[in-house]
Structure 1
Amino acid sequence: MRNVSRTTTLESRFPLLAVEQHCILSKDADITACFKVALPEIFTVGSAEYEAIHAAWHKAVKTLPDYTVVHKQDWYLKENYAPDLSGDGMSFLGRSYRQHFNERPFLNHYCYLFLTKTTRERMRMESNFSSLCRGRLVPKEARDREAVQRFMEAVAQFERIVNDSELVRLSRLSEEEILGTDDSAGLLEQYLTLSTAENEPLQDIALSAEEVRVGTKRLCLHTLSDTDDLPGVVTADTRHEKLSTDRSDCRLSFAAPVGLLLSCNHIYNQYLFLDNSEDNLQKFEKSARNMHSLARYSRSNQINREWIERYLNEAHSYGLSSVRAHFNVMAWSDDPAELKQIRNDTGSALALMECKPRHNTTDTATLYWAAIPGNAGDFPSEESFYTFIEPALCFFGQETNYSDSPSPFGLKMADRLTGNPIHLDISDLPMKKGIITNRNKFILGPSGSGKSFFTNHMVRQYYEQGAHVLLVDTGNSYQGLCELIKGKTRGEDGVYFTYTESNPIAFNPFYTDDGVFDIEKRESIKTLILTLWKRDDEPPTRSEEVALSNAVSGYIDHIRTFNAPASFNGFYDYAGGDYRRILEEKKVREKDFDLANFLNVLEPYYRGGEYDYLLNSDRQLDLLSKRFIVFEIDAIKDHKILFPIVTIIIMEVFINKMRRLKGQRKLILIEEAWKAIAKEGMAEYIKYLFKTVRKFFGEAIVVTQEVDDIIQSPIVKESIINNSDCKILLDQRKYMNKFDDIQAMLGLTDREKAQVLSLNMNNDASRLYKEVWIGLGGTHSAVYATEVSLEEYLAYTTEESEKMEVMELAAQLGGDVELAIRRIAARRREDKQ
C-alpha cells in the first residue's frame, strides 16, 4: 500500500528562530534562558539537604515573573565506558583495569533548565494550536525591551539564589553548546536525534497518532497531567528501602524512581507554568460558586466544589501561589520488544512514586515537540494540572550520577549503581578546596570486608603516580603486589623486609646522613628511649623527661665535638660516664632521676645484651631510592619488646625519608601494628607523626579491623582519628549493634551512618566487588565500589591457596610474577567460557 502520510521539512516547522546572548528566541517571540544543572551525586545527601534544595528551588521560582515556564529536562542515556588503551607507560595492572571496564554500559545523566518568558495567550493554548498544526510559521516581533530586561534580571536572580545553596549549580549554556559546532552536536541537534554521540546524522522524524519515531528510535510516553494520577502526599525526599535498615534511612528524591533508578534511555521533563496567581484564584472562586449552585443536581459537582474550596483555603491561608504543572517520562528503543519492557518498567517506576501510570498515546507528538529546548511556549495547556509551587517541586529530580574529579591525581573506583569507573581524588583537591586540612586516612573494616583489596588498590595507584609508599604489615597482605613491582622494576622498587632471627630488622637511631639533628630527629630519639625505659602504665615524671632530654642533647654535642661515630652503644657509654658526672655536679637527686635504674633497663640493648643488634646497625636501610617498601613483621607481632621497638624503628626511618625527599609525595600505611605504638607512652609520638607528615607532602594511613580497638582506646581517638580528615569504612554490618559507639567515636552524622550501613546491601550479582565508604572532613562522603580486573585480583589476593598458585608458577618462570598472573588469568577466563 502506498504511503499517504503527509511529509514536510523540519525547517518549515521548526519553532525556533535564533540563539542570541545565551538565549533561545522562538518564532512566537518567546525568550528562553538556558542552563546546565549540576546536582548532588546520588546516595550522598540526606533529608536536610533535600529540604534545602527544595527550598532553594522554591525561592528561585518565586522571583520569576508571570507567564514564565520553568522547564527542567533530565536526560538519562545508556553509554559505554571507553578508556584510553593506547597510553604510553601504562602499567600492567593499570592496563588490565581499563580492559576490564572497556565497553562497560552505564546510565549517564545530563540535566538542563530552561526558563521561558511567554505570554498569557500562549500559556492558554491547547494542542491544536501547536506549531506542529500550523501551515507556516511567521516570526513575530519581540516584546518591548523593558519587559525583556526585567525577565533577564529575574533570571539572574534565579541563578544566584540556586547557586547560593551550594548544593545545586547552574551554569549558562553557551551558543556553541546550544547550536553545536562543526565538530560537535549542540543540544538542539542532540534532542532531534535523541543522542549525544558525535556525528549522529539527522534522520526522519515521524509524528503521528500511531507512533512517534526519531530515526529508528520509537518513543513511549508516560504523563502526570491530572491530579487524579498523583499520590495523596508528596515530600522532597523518600526512603530507599533497598539500602535502608531498621537503624538507618537511605534517602533519595521523590522522583528518583524515574531518574537514575530507571535503567533505560529516557528523558524526564518537569514543567512549572507560572500564570497570574490572582487570576487563577478568581477563576476558581467563580467555579466554586457555579458548583455550589449545581450541587443539588450532581454529587460530583458537590465533591468538586469541596476540592476547589480546599484549594482556595490553602492558597489564602498560607499565601501560596497557584501554578500549573506537568511531568512526563519519554523513553525510547530501537527494538519493539525492548520498548514493551521499557513501557512496563516506566509504569512500575511511576507506581513506586505512588502515581497512577498513564501511558499517553494521544499527545505524544505534541509533547515531544514542546519539549524541544526553548519551545515550552508550545506546551498544550490541557496536559497540565493546577497545584502550588512547593508540591510541584517535589517532582523535580534532585540527584545525578557520580562524576570524575578534575584533579590529575587520584584513584580509580567504580560507581556503586552502574559500575562505571570513577576518577576520585581524596587527597589533593579536597586539601585545595579546604574540605580537609591533612591527607591522613583512618581505615576500619572487619575481616572479610575487602579491606586488603581496597588498600592494595589504593597504594598501587599512588605508587604508579609517583608516590613513595612504605607499608607496615602483619599479614602478608601486600606480598603479591610487592613481588610484582620488584619484578617489573628489576629490584629497584618492591623491597620486602620480613623479620627473622637470622636477619632481624635493625637500625641506628642516632644516624643522620647530613649530621643535622633537628627538633624532629631529637624528639623521635627521646620517644624511642622512653619506650625502652618505661612501661605502659608508668609515665615519666617531669624531672625524668628533662633528664632524658638533657642526656640526648649532651650526647649529640659529644658526637659533634669529638666527631665520634653515633650509635646506641655510644649513647649508653656517654650516659654512664660523662652524663653521670654532669648529674653529680648538678646534684640531681636519685628520686628525681635514677641513672642506675635507667642504665639497667637499657642494658639489654647495649653491647653484649639480648637485643644489642636492634639499635646498633652499621648499615642504613636505603629508603630514599626505593618507592615501594613493605615491612612484614608478623613474626614478632606478639613479642612485647620487639614489636613496639621495630615498629618505631620503621616509623623513624620513614620520618627520615619524609624530611629528606622534598616535593615528593610520601605515604606510610600501618596495618594492625599501630596497636603496639598506640599506648600511653607513645601517644605523643603518634600525634607527632600524624601532625608532621602533612607538612612534608605526605600522608599517614592507619588500618584496623577490631572495632573494640577504636571504641576503648582514647589514644586512638586523640592521636589518629582526630588527625585523619579522611575516614574510610568497609562493611560494618557485623558491628550493627555497636555502631552507635562507632558513630560517636568517628563523629559521623546520621546521613553518613546511613551510607555506611548501606554498604553491600544491594550489590549487582553480575559483578564481583565490595563497597567502601569514604568520608572527607565530615562534609563530603559517598559509597564507591572496589571492583578490579582478574589480574589485579591475583596480585592483591590474600587467599593462601591463590597466593601460593601465583608464587609457585612465578618460581617456575624464573621469578616472573607478571607472567604468572597473565597465565593464570588467561586460564581462568578459558575455564569460564
Structure 2
Amino acid sequence: MNFERIKPLFKVEHGAIISAWGDITLAYELELPEIFTLSGSEYEAFHHAWCRAIRLLPEGSIVHKQDWFVRSRYKRDGNSARSFLSAASEWFFNGRAYLAHRCLIYITRQAADRKPASSAYSGLLRKSIVPKQTVNPTFFNDFMEKAGQFARILSDSSFVGIRQLSDKELTGRARVPGMVEQYCFLLGADERPLLKDVHFKDELKVGDEFVKLFTLADAEDLPGWCGSRIDYDKYSTDKTKFSIGFASPLGLLLDCNHLYNQYIFIGDPLKTQKLLEQKRLRLQSLSAYSRENAIARDATSDFLNEAIGEQRLPVKAHFNVLAWTDDAKQVQELKNLAGSAMAQMDAVARLESDGAPQIWWAGIPGNSADFPMNDTFDTFLEQATCFFNLESNYRSSKSGFGLRLGDRLSGRPVLVDISDEPMKKGLITNRNKMILGPSGSGKSFFTNHMVQSYFEQGAHIVLVDVGHSYKGLCDLVDGYYFTYEESNPIRFNPFYVAKGDKLDIEKKESLKTLLLALWKKEDESFGRSEYVAISNAVKLYYEHLEAHPDLFPCFNTFYDFLGKEFAVVLKESSVKEKDFDLGNLLYVLNPYYQGGEFDYLLNSTENLDLLGERFIVFELDNIKDHAILFPVVTIIIMEVFISKMRKLPKDVRKVILIEEAWKAIAKDGMAEYIKYLFKTVRKFFGEAIVVTQEVEDILSSPVIKQAIVNNSDCKILLDQSKYQNKFDQVQELLGLTDKDRALILSMNKANDPQRIYKEVTFSLGPSTKVYRVEVSPEQYYAFTTEASEKAKVHQYAKRFGSIEAGIRNLIEDQSKTKFL
C-alpha cells in the first residue's frame, strides 16, 4: 500500500500539524530534569504541575507524550591541540555506549465532527483519505491560546524547559529527517532521511528492524498503586530512601532502543460520568448472576463517587513501549527487558499483536486522534500522569568551562561546571570548595583530575600538599615542585622584586608579616614601635636597592642592610633599645643569614618568577612538624598566592588548593590568612579549596568550621559509607538537606562491575548531583597515589626520558602482558 494514498496528515503551517480530518496538533520539545537528581517532594511538585497544565486544555484534546530512547555511542573530539591527558581521555571514551533521550509532546485538538477511532475503524484500514480543506480560524486561535497556557505552566514549574518545534523540524529537510519521518522509519535526529518498508503482516517490522509493541491498556494489567515516585532499591540504604519517577523503569532504565508513548484523552466529564452511570446500572442488574459483576459495579460506583466528591477529572489513557532491534536473536531479550521493566512498576506487560499496526499508526505525530479507543482505559488525570516519564540524561554545562565526569548510568562523558555556571544561576555566591572523603574514597584522585582540568583551561594553580599526591601531574605539566630534602632543601626568595617592578602594598605587608614571624614566637606580642621600625626597614631597604643596582635582593643583603645602613638610621633617629632592639632582631635572624643553619631558605636565586608560573606545588610533608621552617614556608605560600590574586589579570582564574596541610596551617598564626583567603578570593576570580579526610577534623577546628565551611558554597563529597551511621553530624554541619543525604549515601551502591571508577557528589546550594570519576589509563597513572604504581611510573619515566613517554610505554607493556 502506498503511504501517499492514506497519509493522515494534510499540511504543516504556523507551527501546527493539520490532519486530513482537520485535527490540529502543536509539537513541543521538553528538557526534563536529569535522572537521579529529584527528591520525593520535587517529584510530587512536578506531578502536580503536569496535572494543572493538562486541566487547562479544552475538551476533545489529546496529550501524546513521546520519549525516544536510542542506543548511541560517544564520539571523541579530534581537536589536535589537546594535551596528552585530554587526548587520552577522548580516545578512552570514544565509542562509549549510552541511551540518548529526547522528549516530545504533541497536543492535539480533535475536529468537532471527528468520530472516535477503534481497531476496526482506523485510517490505516482505509483505501484512501480525502483531506478536509479548511479549519475554523476561531477554533485554531482558541486552541493556540490554551496550548500556550499549558506550555507556560510547565515552564514556570522550573522543572521543564519547553520550546515549540518549527515547521522545518516537523517536516524535515533534504538531508535532515522531520519528526514524521523519524517516527515512521525509526530514524535518529542526526541520521540521513531513508525510506523503508513498513511490514504489518505476521509481525511489525520497519526496514530491517524487528519491532515489538508492549501496552498498558487494560485495567487488569495495571499496578494496584501508582504515585509520582517509587523507591530505587539499588541506591537506597537502611536509613534513606532514594526516589526515582514512577515510570522510570520504562525510560532510561530500560536499556534498549525504544519509544515510550503516553496518551491522555480529555473528553466531556459529564458525558463520561453519564456513560459510567449507565454501566453501573447494567452491572447492578447483572450482579445477581455473577460475583464479578458485583465487584465491577462497586468499582464503578467508587470511581463515580471520587469523580464527583473530589472533583477529579476523568480521562482515558494508554501507555505503550515500542522497542526494536535489527538482530532477530535479540527479539526474545526485548520481551524479557520490557516484561521486567513493567514488573518493576507492578504492572503486566502485554505484547500487542493483532492491534499493533493501528496503535503504531496512531503514534505518527499529529495522528493521535486516530488512536483506537478500545485500547484505552478509564482513570483520573492524577493517576494517568503518574505514568509519565519525568527524567532525562545528564547534560553538559553550557558555559564551556568545567571538568569531565561521567553520567551515572553509562559513564558517558559530560562537562560539569561547578564554578561559573552555578554563580550565574545564583545557586552559589562564591567559587570556594570543600572536599570531604575518608581514606580510600578516591579523594586525591578526584582532586588531581579537577586541577588538571582547571590547568588545561588556563587557571593558575597553587597546591599545598603533605603526601606527594601531585608529583606525577606536576612533572607532566612541567610545573614547579617545592619540597624539602636533605640534599636539596626547599628554597625561596620572598625579597626578590624584578627590575622595573615597584614594591606594592601586598608585598610590603607580607614581608613585614614574615619578619615578625621569624622574630617573635606565636605567644610573643610585638609593640607598635617595633612594627613601625620593621616597616621602615623594608621601605628603606628597597630604596637602598634602587641606589645600588648591583645588589641582589635576598635575605642576605637585607640582613647586611639592617646591621649597617639601618643601624645608622636608628642612631640618627635616637631610637631607644627598649622601643626597638636591633641587636636582638639580628641575633634571632642570624640562622637565616649566610653561614647560618637555614641560610638556604630565603636566598634562592632560582624559581624567582612564581607570578608567571601556572602550576606550583608546595610539598610540606617533611617540614609540617618543624617549628621554624613550617611557619616561614606557609607565610611565603600565602604571599605567592595573594600576589597572583592581586597582580594577575581579572579574567585569569586563580586556584589555591590546600590538601591535608590545612590542619597544620590552621593554627593561631595562620588562621587569619585562611579566613582572609576564603572571604576575599572570589573578588579576584579565584577559588580556595580545602581537602579533608575525617569528620572529626571539621568538628574540632574552629577555623574550618567558621571560616571554611561557611564560605565554601560548593561541597564535594566522596564515598561516605564509612560515616553513614553518624552522618547526622556531617549533615547538620554542612547544612545538607534530606535529599542531599539520600544522594550522598547512594554513592557507589550499584557501580558497574565491568568498569573501574568511584562516584562523587557535588552540593551546590539547592542543586546536588552524583557523577562518576572515571579516567583513562594514562590519567590513572598520572594521578595514582599508590606507592608501588608511583614507583613504576618513576622507573619508566627515568628509562624513557619523560613522564609522558614513561606512561605511554608502561600502558603499552601492560596491554601486551594482558594480551599474552
TM-score interval, smaller chain: over 0.9
State the match for 1:746 in structure 2.
734
- Report the CA distance between 1:255 and its aligned residue: 0.5
* 1:809 corresponds to which of 772, 786, 796: 796
TM-score, length basis structure 2: 0.92
Amino acid at match of 2:717: L
> What is aligned with 1:658?
645
Residue 621 of structure 1 is aligned with which of 600, 604, 608?
608
Matched, 1:764 2:752: yes
Question: Are 1:504 and 2:495 an aligned pair?
Answer: no
Q: Which residue of 1 aligns with 2:125?
A: 133
1:116 and 2:108 aligned? yes
Q: Which amino acid aligns with 1:760?
A: N
1:345 aligns with 2:337: yes
From 651, 654, 676, the counterpart of 2:664: 676
CA drift of 1:760 comes to 1.0
1:201 aligns with 2:194: yes
Residue 288 (structure 1) aligned to one of 280, 284, 294: 280
TM alignment of 1:255-266, pairs within 5 A: 255-266=247-258
User: Could you tell me how far 1:641 is from its partner in structure 2?
Assistant: 3.6
**Equivalent residue runs for 1:232-243 within 5 Å:** 232-243=224-235
Residue by residue over 1:508-565, the C-alpha shift from the partner in whole angstroms, topping out at 9 and shown as x without a partner, is 44554466555544554455456557766x596xxx5866764554444444665576
Matched AA of 1:423: L
Q: Which residue of 2 aligns with 1:726?
A: 714
1:526–1:548 Cα contact (<8 Å) kept: no
Q: Distance in 1 between matches of 2:503 and 2:678?
A: 20
TM-score by length of 1: 0.91
Q: Which residue matches 1:646?
A: 633
Q: CA deviation at 1:447?
A: 1.6
Partner residue of 2:310?
A: 318
Aligned to 2:143: 151
Deviation at 1:799, TM superposition (A): 1.8
Partner of 1:28: 21
Report the residue type matching 2:23 in the other structure: D
2:412 and 2:519 map into 1 onto residues whose CA distance is 54
Q: How does 1:427-576 map to 2 (within 5 A)?
A: 427-485=419-477, 493-513=478-498, 516=502, 518=504, 520-521=506-507, 524-525=510-511, 528=514, 538=523, 550-559=532-541, 567=555, 569=559
User: Deviation per CA, 1:449-491, whole angstroms, max 9, x where unpaired?
Assistant: 1122212222222222222222222212122222223xxxxxx
Partner Cα separation in structure 1 for residue 410 and residue 157 of structure 2: 28
Residue equivalent to 1:3: none
Give 2:701's aligned residue.
713
Rounded to whole Å, the distance in 1 between the matches of 2:378 and 2:566 is 90
Describe the shift of the 1:306–1:826 C-alpha distance in structure 2 as closer, same or farther (beyond 3 A). same
Which structure 1 segments of 5+ residues have no match? Answer: 1-7, 486-492
Spell out, residue by residue over 1:255-296, the C-alpha distance to the aligned partner (whole angstroms, 9 max, x if none).
Answer: 011111110001111111111112111222232233333333
**How far apart are residue 220 of structure 1 and its match?**
1.2
Question: Could you tell which deviates more after superposition, 166-175 or 733-742?
Answer: 733-742
Gap change, CA 1:173 and 1:105, over 3 Å in 2: same
The 1-side partners of 2:604 and 2:770 are apart by: 46
Provide, for residues 762-808 of structure 1, a one-character-per-residue CA deviation record: whole Å limited to 9, x for no partner: 111111111111222x1222111111111222222222222222221
Residue 363 (structure 2) aligns with: 371
Instruction: State the alpha-carbon separation in 1 of the partners of residues 678 and 505 from structure 2.
Output: 16
- Matched with 1:4 is none
Matched AA of 2:785: T
Kept in 2, the 8 Å contact 1:444–1:703? The answer is yes
State the partner residue of 1:824: 810
CA deviation after TM superposition for structure 1 residue 604, in Å = 5.9
The range that moved more, 679-688 or 99-108, is 679-688
Query: Which residue number corresponds to residue 228 of structure 1?
Result: 220
Alignment correspondent of 2:47: 54
1:704 corresponds to which of 689, 692, 698: 692
CA contact (8 A) 1:93 1:791 kept: yes
Structure 1 residue 607: Cα displacement: 7.4
Report the CA distance between 1:303 and its aligned residue.
Answer: 1.4
> Over residues 24-81 of structure 1, what are the superposed CA-to-partner deviations in whole Å (9 max), with x where a residue is unaligned?
1111111111111101111111112111211111111111111100111111100011
State which drifts further: 646-655 or 557-566. Answer: 557-566
> CA 1:803/1:302 → structure 2, altered by over 3 Å: closer, same or farther?
same
- The answer (yes or no) to whether the contact 1:644–1:676 under 8 Å persists in 2 is no
Please tell me the residue identity of whatever aligns with 2:454. Answer: Y
Task: Report the AA paired with residue 54 of structure 2.
Answer: V
Alignment counterpart, residue 39 of structure 1, candidates 19, 22, 32: 32
Distance in 2, matches of 1:453 and 1:343, equals 42
Percent of matched pairs sharing the same residue: 50
Q: Is the 8 Å Cα contact of residues 657 and 689 (structure 2) preserved in structure 1?
A: yes
Deviation at 1:599, TM superposition (A): 8.6
The answer to whether the 8 A contact 1:56-1:162 is kept is yes
1:595 & 1:157 partners in 2: Cα distance?
81
Aligned partners of 2:529, 2:294: CA distance in 1, in Å? 95
Greater shift, 467-476 or 301-310, is seen at: 467-476
Distance 1:648 1:690 in 2: 16
Deviation for aligned residue 1:18:
1.3
Within the alignment, does 1:179 sit opposite 2:171 as a pair? yes
Q: Partners of 2:510 and 2:677 in 1: how far apart?
A: 10
Q: Does 1:631 align with 2:618?
A: yes
Letter in 1 for 2:671: A
Aligned to 1:298: 290
The CA distance in 1 between the partners of 2:715 and 2:41, in whole Å, is 22
Q: State which of 411, 414, 418 in structure 2 corresponds to 1:419.
A: 411
| Deviation of the 1:612 alpha carbon | 5.3
Give the corresponding residue for 2:3: 10
Structure 2 CA distance for partners of 1:550 and 1:225, relative to 1, 3 Å: farther
For residues 139 and 606 of structure 2, what CA distance do their matches in structure 1 show? 83
Cα distance in 2, alignment partners of residues 737 and 231 from structure 1: 35
Letter in 2 for 1:821: I
- 2:173 is paired with a residue of what secondary structure? coil
Q: 1:206 to 1:239 in 2, by over 3 A?
A: same
Q: Does 1:390 align with 2:382?
A: yes
- How many Å separate the matches in 2 of 1:237 and 1:432? 31
Residues 1:140 and 1:256: Cα distance change in structure 2 (over 3 Å)? same
Provide closer, same or farther for how the CA distance between residues 202 and 713 of structure 1 changes in structure 2, counting only shifts above 3 A: same
Go from structure 1 to structure 2 and tell me whether the alpha carbon gap of 1:523 and 1:115 turns closer, same or farther (over 3 Å shift).
farther
Counterpart for residue 774 of structure 2: 787
> Does the aligned pair in 2 maintain the 1:258–1:349 contact within 8 Å?
yes
SS at match of 2:424: helix
What's the counterpart of residue 549 of structure 2? Answer: none
Are residues 153 and 88 of structure 1, via their aligned partners in 2, closer, same or farther at CA, if it must alter by over 3 Å? same
| Structure-2 change in CA distance of 1:569 and 1:311 (3 Å) | farther
The CA deviation at 1:119 is 3.9
1:406 correspondence with 2:398:
yes
Q: Which runs of 5+ in 2 are unaligned?
A: 547-552
